[in-house]
Amino acid sequence: MNRPEREAAVRQIMERAVPRVPPELHAEVVRLGGRMLRRRALVRRLLWLLLSAAVVAFAVWAVTAQPWVEPPSETTPPLTDW
């Protein structure tokens, strides 16, 4: 197919009559869409809660473990100037 034939085929497809949507389909779509939005909001809240818990857990660990402080030496340094 060359370009003019493709354009003609696309025009023919676009000029067809649009199929009618059944009226009862609207209520079903609204119900499912509302459920999807509620589920998405719940997942978003749970992820924020999980992130907050992780931040609090990290902060508590950092305060108790103090990873920025150098640990005490396990051995004594050698005595040299005696």
Segment 54-71 shows an average pLDDT of: 93
Residue 79, pLDDT > 80, answer no
Residue 57, pLDDT > 70, answer yes
For the segment 4-50, what is each residue's pLDDT rounded down to a tens digit?
A: 999 999 999 889 888 788 889 989 999 999 999 999 999 999 999 99
pTM recorded for the entire structure: 0.58
> HEC string of 17-67?
CCCCCCHHHHHHHHHHHHHHHHHHHHHHHHHHHHHHHHHHHHHHHHHHHCC
User: What would the two tokens of residue 7 be?
Assistant: 């354009």
Q: Which pLDDT does position 82 carry in this prediction?
A: 63
Higher pLDDT, 20 or 57: 57
